[in-house]
Amino acid sequence: MNIFETTETLPAVPDNLSIPQFFLDYQGNEQLVTNGQPVQGLEPNPWFIEERTGRKIGLSEIRRRSFGLANAISIRYNIASAVLIFSRNHVDYPIAIWAVHRVGGIVSGANPDFVSNELLYQIQVCNAKLILVHLDALETAVTAARSAGITLDRVIVFDVDSKNAPKGFQTVSNLVWEGLNQPSNFVESRIDARTKLAFLSFSSGTTGKPKASAVAIPHFSVIINVIQMAIHFKVFQESAPWHERRFRPGDIAIGVLPIYHIYGLILNLHFILYSRMSLVLVEKFNFVDMLRNIDRYRISHLMLVPPHIVLFCKQTELLKDYALDSVRFIMVGAAPLSNEVNNQLFNIFPEAHIGQAYGMTETCTSVSAFPISKKRGSAGSAGLLKPGVRARILKEDGTFGTFDEPGELYIWSPSNALGYYNNEQATRETFIDGWVRTGDEAKIDRNMELWIMDRMKEIMKVRGFQVAPAELEGCILDHPDVNDACVVGIPDDYSGEVPLAFVVLKTEATQRAVSSIEESAKVKASIQKHVSDNKVCYKRLAGGVEIVSTIPKNPSGKLLRRVLREKAKALKKPTTKL
């Protein structure tokens, strides 16, 4: 067998609907996963619960606000290019996404912890001309907007406490009110959902190039990936007695994953809402607050990344103060968990269904997840392929492997992205005849379980975020003391791995560094600060800086990163928590 795939099939899913048309307006969309049978007992429940206030927001209010905002945007702004959302989670973040989609626009979510030059890069790649921003990130947004030539009347602020509302800026609620009090200025027509872009989501790709690329994701990719997940987990189906079903309408999930990240955007947001569950939206993650919210809101479903799981395992004393027995489902993505951590998690939540999933921005999220037939996923396994997904394993000899043969994982899925936005070379390298070259070394066993063994690509995974070493090396080389640099990832209990920089100093800096331990420490600290000043927090050199005389390279000048990875293994593991 050279192509691996499940025997489950996908239904005919409409390919002429936008994301809000499908999720907010399409009646009976749950019947797509029940062979056309109507689903009984779908009582209306709030779609969102605002964590801070407990405010509940239902579908009718979501439709009203998304229409109002869409109408105001249509009246006030030309959004022929992408709209950038630079914000933490907020109850109006999804409203903004769906409003932009209703008027035919494209959304690009940016990390609210970006510094201004990182945000400027994303604005320029997407050619964004309108920015929606959380108040916490307004100063950075204004700096980047000015550099990009965007006037401040095109910077819109998500609503916060009215006492702190910034003067001179439009707010989302003001625009919603304006749009609801004006005649409709737009027409929502049917689209070609397979080609019409919905999101430009940023990824370092599979090659670890210096600059991140925008992954071009059409509306259909989001819709079909949610359907794939729903069929895989038998949502709305009478697959087990009610109390044993993994997903039940009326369950409550917590949204601690950022919506700008593909995992949070597709699975923690759209899939949860499709499953007729309520989502408690959390602006900024704090572990104690999450425990408090599980207790307060009786959270049943957790979609998390390994750093969250490590906190559960390392801070067990805190768990005693909160009622966590409502948790019935935990899914972990973005990076594998060790056997030890898995077993600790099983002991903390003995009744919960727990397992892992695998996916990428380029595949528009998940292509596998732990099976419905097992309460616990196999430790280290990424689970079974989802319906409609095909996988290949390309071995080192250039042939495709069969069971238990390791090699590079290739994925074909109807959810695959279209490529990298305005980047033909990167697209050709990763998107090959409809298949995504993942850059991950994997194998598939005779039980059809997918195992991710290692990364063949150069990028690191820090707290679930992709970090390209070449990007950090470029930043380090801008430091006046540095002649050459190479960045590698080293293991870290909390973050999975963190960046460590090997640097070759210029002559004068070398003389200072060798003069005393104190001077050497100052040079290293200066390099770390330089990166911290120019990069988002998870890209900082938490692994430290090591001064070396040369960076090993092959005859053509390519960095021999593997040599320095081996050297890094002998170094003390970092204790810095990001």
Q: Give per-residue pLDDT as tens, 5-44.
A: 988 889 999 999 999 999 999 877 888 887 777 776 666 7
Torsion angle of C-alpha atoms 93, 95, 101, 104, degrees rounded to 10: -110
Closest to 95 (Cα-Cα) out of 179, 186, 11 = 179
Q: Quick one: average pLDDT of 411-434?
A: 94
- In sequence order, the 6+-apart residues with CB closer than 8 A to the CB of 143 are 116
* Average pLDDT value over all residues in the chain: 89
Q: Kind of pairing, strands 155-157 and 252-255?
A: unpaired
**What is the predicted pLDDT for the residue at 132?**
97
Give the mean model confidence (pLDDT) for residues 226-241: 91
Quick one: pLDDT at residue 575? 44
| Model confidence at 281: pLDDT above 70 | yes
pLDDT higher than 90, residue 493: no
pLDDT greater than 50 at residue 556? no
Q: Are 226 and 413 in contact (CB under 8 A)?
A: no
Domains of the chain as residue ranges with CATH: 4-17+196-455 (3.40.50.12780), 56-180 (3.40.50.980), 460-569 (3.30.300.30)
**Interatomic CA distance for residues 383 and 231, integer angstroms:** 15
Which pLDDT band holds residue 572 (cuts at 50, 70, 90)? low
Q: What is the mean pLDDT of residues 460-479?
A: 81
Does the structure show a pLDDT above 80 at 455? no
| pLDDT top residue among 70 and 344 | 70
**Does 161 have pLDDT greater than 80?**
no
Which tokens sit at 224? 């079909």
Which of these, 371, 442, 387, 383, lies nearest to 410 by C-alpha position? 442
CB 267 within 8 A of CB 307: no
Lowest mean pLDDT among 65-79, 204-218, 356-370: 204-218
**Which has the minimum average pLDDT: 288-302, 330-344, 398-412?**
330-344
Determine whether 162 is exposed, middle or buried from the number of CB atoms within 10 Å of its CB (0-12, 13-18, 19+): exposed
pLDDT bracket for residue 210 (50, 70, 90) = low
pLDDT over 90 at 329, yes or no = yes
CA dist 238 and 225 (Å) reads: 21
CA dist., res. 197 & res. 221, Å (int): 10
pLDDT band at 561, cuts 50/70/90?
confident
Q: What percent of the chain has pLDDT over 70?
A: 94
pLDDT of residue 83: 97
CA angle 278, 279, 282 (to 5 degrees): 155
- Confidence (pLDDT) at 40: 66
> What is the C-alpha separation between 257 and 268, in angstroms, rounded?
7
Query: How sure is the predictor about 341, in pLDDT bands with cuts at 50, 70 and 90?
Result: confident
DSSP string, 451-468: EEEEE-SS-EEETTEEE-
Largest CA distance in the chain: 78
pLDDT of residue 574: 47
User: CA-CA distance, 337 to 408, in Å (whole number)?
Assistant: 20
Residue 577 has pLDDT above 70, yes or no: no
Which pLDDT band, with edges at 50, 70 and 90, does 205 fall under? Answer: low
Residues 167, 313: Cα–Cα separation, whole Å: 45
